[in-house]
């Protein structure tokens, strides 16, 4: 008589780090603090971060999101998003006598500074990034006559420069590390004297989240990333999971978007979240999975993150001491 096979163990591998990075934490707190100090409404140019839950929550508290500064009443308070803005946006705001608070992530500001420095030295700057992304638009605006967008390895052949001996590269901070390395390798084949930025432009949080996913992916029948579809780093996490061995992967805004058919025949589910995702959404997904037999959760930690950024100077209190948010991942 044949003994029935034991049912496969159902488990969740939970990536760490995941969720909020220091730049997102700072940006969200910037809008919250502005509402606290100045009252509603506080205008925000573009989505403060690319997450629908965060935007909806701030809108309910009195934030008004607009696409351009000319939608903000003259003299009103406007916050610039974490993705950064071009200098022309600051000029437009000044012309309308707007009070501004710049919530640009300091790591994005670093890339803006590098763009200005290379442009001042008359380099052609090859900006690796995705066309239309707000961060790319802001960075390109720092030196529009010097910057050429390179949208991935396949776009390298389309690049033209004035002097192959004076070429430098920069990168959108939220790209896949692997994609950026591949693009830089191809660029260097065309331009052997290609100048590197002073340091890697890929955000530490983007890189850490991708490393954690890579470590887990091969063990996962299904990988679920919590994040919005306009979040570049969240989209990349799904791509990385599938590239590194997950049998299938999906991006969801919240647990309500999970199709229960995804769970059929699955024993191990990987879970992570993009850098603009509050932990409450991950907890909601874990509760959803636990109710369906996936209550065994094992955290897979690849790095520790303790970085905090100060709030913009307009919002700092005397001896302001930043504390980690209670809804950040442990």
User: Catalytic residue numbers?
Assistant: 135
221 alpha carbon, distance to own chain's centre: 25
3-state secondary structure of 195: strand
- The helix-helix angle for 106-120 and 22-38 (nearest 10°) equals 110
What percent of the chain is helix, strand and coil (3-state, nearest 5)? Answer: 40, 15, 45
201 alpha carbon, distance to own chain's centre: 13
Measured from the Cβ of residue 265, the count of other Cβ atoms closer than 10 Å reads 10
Integer-rounded Cα radius of gyration of the chain: 22
Q: Which residues lie below 8 Å from residue 74, measured CB to CB, with a gap of 6+?
A: 96, 97, 98
Distance CA 127, CA 140 (A): 8
The tally of CA atoms less than 13 A away on the side-chain side of residue 257 is 13
């Amino acid at each position: 008589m044949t003994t029935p096979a034991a049912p496969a163990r159902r488990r969740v591998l939970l990536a760490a780090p995941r969720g909020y990075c220091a730049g997102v934490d700072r940006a969200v707190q910037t809008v919250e603090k502005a509402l606290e100090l100045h009252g509603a409404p506080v205008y925000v140019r573009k989505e403060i971060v690319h997450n629908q839950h965060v935007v909806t929550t701030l809108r309910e508290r009195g934030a008004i999101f607009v696409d351009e500064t000319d939608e903000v009443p003259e003299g009103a308070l406007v916050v610039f998003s974490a993705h950064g803005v071009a200098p022309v946006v600051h000029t437009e705001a000044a012309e309308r006598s707007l009070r501004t608070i710049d919530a640009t992530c300091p790591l994005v500001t670093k890339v803006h500074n590098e763009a200005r420095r290379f442009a001042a030295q008359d380099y052609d700057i090859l900006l690796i990034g995705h066309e239309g992304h707000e961060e790319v638009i802001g960075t390109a605006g720092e030196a529009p006559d010097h910057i050429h967008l390179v949208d991935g390895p396949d776009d390298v052949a389309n690049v033209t420069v004035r002097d192959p001996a004076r070429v430098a590269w920069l990168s959108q901070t939220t790209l896949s590390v692997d994609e950026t390395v591949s693009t830089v390798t191809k660029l260097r084949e065309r331009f052997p004297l290609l100048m590197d930025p002073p340091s890697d432009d890929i955000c530490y949080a983007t890189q850490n989240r991708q490393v954690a996913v890579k470590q887990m992916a091969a063990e996962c029948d299904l990988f679920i990333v919590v994040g919005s579809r306009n979040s570049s780093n969240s989209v990349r996490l799904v791509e990385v999971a599938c590239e590194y061995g997950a049998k299938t992967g999906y991006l969801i805004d919240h647990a309500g978007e999970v199709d229960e058919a995804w769970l059929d025949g699955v024993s191990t589910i990987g879970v992570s979240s993009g850098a603009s995702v509050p932990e409450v959404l991950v907890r909601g997904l874990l509760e959803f999975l636990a109710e369906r037999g996936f209550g065994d959760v094992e955290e897979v930690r690849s790095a520790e993150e303790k970085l905090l950024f100060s709030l913009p100077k307009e919002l700092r209190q005397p001896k302001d001491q930043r504390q980690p948010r209670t809804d950040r991942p442990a």
